Amino acid sequence: MGEIRQGVRKNVMMIVTNRCSLNCVYCYEKYKTSEEMTFATAKSIIDEEMAADDGYEEIIFDFFGGEPFLNFPLIKRAHDYLHSKTWPKKYLCFTTTNGLHIHGDVANWLWSNRRTFWCSLSLDGTPGMHNQNRNNSYDQINVDFFAKAWPDQPVKMTISRQTLPHLADGIIFLHRKGFKVTSTFAQGINWIKETDLPILERELKKLMVFYKANPEFPLASLLDYPIHALCRELPHEEKWCGCGESMKAYFVDGTLYPCQCFTPLANETSRERIYESIDFKQTAAFVCAECTGCPYLPICPTCYGSNYIQRGSMGRRDQSLCAFYRACIDASAQFRATQIIHHHPTPEELTPEEYYVLKGTKLLHESCS
């Protein structure tokens, strides 16, 4: 039997359609077609994954696109099939959607199944910001439906160069609408340090003022980096995500890829399957030589699929984003350390995590001195 991976969920993506109803300014899926997954393919994937002796006790079936709800009949049928049988593993259905097709019968079905089928809405801030990034689509989305159905599920807010000047307003707007916020920088675009970084630093300061005055709101991901993890003593660089291991992606035809960024939707060379010789359990292929010794590295995000698409190597990070990630990590450290010192003036009152947050903050300060 495979080794049991306690607390680790396996993320099984199923690309149910290559179609999308939007053309977002930062979209990395450059090779959309009309292809869709059949139920026979989806059933085969579910049967195989549920029976696999791989040590995983729980699976998240992530229905992916394109826009997944353009193939709603398959999503519904796959969900119902999962519920029709007793399985040896736990499971949850999940998807990320642009929200345009969540109305009428689709919305009614999702509401009825909201505890077993979770949705993450892609929403890029204020209506103006969202419309700038995502084809003037804000008014076509029932935003309140998502806040009511899945109040603990963050919205996915992608930051483009066009919307960066309004970053704080966008996050605050989403909080006021009832959402937690996961924010990411658009990948594969030309970020310009000289002009964009000062704007980001200004917006992060605005957010810190907001959160200080409104502590009831959970921190957006840009100010919630795990500073305590900077103190870990690791023998080697750890992988940032589970691509090729706890994460896998099945294309519309059932072909298996390490994650969605490696599929033909995003990478025109993917059918050549150059990466098949890579052992995803070994970290050597994921190490960026240019980042060796960087004190930010243990918590600095990267996308191996984007690295592969943009630079031909999973390990080669986007160096144009380094300063942006550092700014977010520095702001996270400053904000958390200030909070801790304010609430716990003596060392004896600190929790272990708080102690390591302060220690991590000090490490960053010393590295910049």
Q: Residue 70: which residues within 8 A CB-CB, separation 6 or more?
A: 17, 19, 20, 21, 36, 101
The pLDDT of residue 285: 78
Closest C-alpha among 227, 202, 138, 199 to residue 174: 138
According to DSSP, residue 285 is labeled G
**Residue 231 forms part of a structural domain:** yes
The pLDDT of residue 235: 47
The pLDDT of residue 1: 39
| Distance in angstroms (rounded) separating the CA atoms of residues 64 and 16 | 6
Closest C-alpha among 302, 309, 317, 307 to residue 264: 309
Closest C-alpha among 309, 310, 361 to residue 190: 310
| Distance in angstroms (rounded) separating the CA atoms of residues 157 and 121 | 9
State the total domains in the chain: 1
Which of 57-61, 227-231, 282-286, 289-293 bottoms out in mean pLDDT, i.e. has the lowest? 282-286
Question: Tokens for 33?
Answer: 């077609």
pLDDT range class, residue 93, cuts 50, 70, 90: very high
| Region 66-80 average pLDDT | 98
**Residue 305 forms part of a structural domain:** yes
Distances (CA, A) of 76 to 106, 152, 326: 9, 23, 42
Which of 146-155, 164-173, 227-236 bottoms out in mean pLDDT, i.e. has the lowest? 227-236
pLDDT digits 0-9 by tens, 101-131: 999 999 999 999 999 999 999 999 999 999 9
> What is the DSSP track for 82-146?
HHTS--SSEEEEEEEE-STT-SHHHHHHHHHTTTTEEEEEB--SSHHHHHHHTTT-GGGS-HHHH
Question: Tokens for 113?
Answer: 């199944």
**Residue 320 forms part of a structural domain:** yes
Residue 340's Cβ-side half-sphere holds a number of Cα atoms within 13 Å equal to 24
State the average pLDDT for the chain. Answer: 92
- Phi, psi torsion values for 109, nearest 5 degrees: -65, -45
| Region 344-367 average pLDDT | 87
User: Higher model confidence: residue 312 or residue 15?
Assistant: 15
| Distance in angstroms (rounded) separating the CA atoms of residues 172 and 146 | 17
**Residue 163 forms part of a structural domain:** no
**Residue 351 forms part of a structural domain:** yes
Q: Is the pLDDT of residue 314 over 90?
A: no
Contacts 24+ apart (CB under 8 A), 292-296: 295/230, 295/363, 295/364, 295/367, 296/230, 296/325, 296/326, 296/329, 296/364
State the virtual CA torsion across 47, 49, 51, 54 in degrees, nearest 10. 170
Q: Residue 233: which residues within 8 A CB-CB, separation 6 or more?
A: none
The pLDDT of residue 347: 77
What percent of the chain lies above the pLDDT cut of 70?
Answer: 94
- Domain enclosing residue 299, as ranges: 225-241+288-369
Residue with tokens 């003022």: 209
pLDDT digits 0-9 by tens, 169-202: 999 999 999 999 999 999 888 899 999 999 999 9
Question: Tokens for 39?
Answer: 């139920």
pTM here is 0.93
The pLDDT of residue 271: 60
pLDDT digits 0-9 by tens, 215-232: 999 999 999 999 999 986
* Cβ–Cβ < 8 Å for 109, 149: no
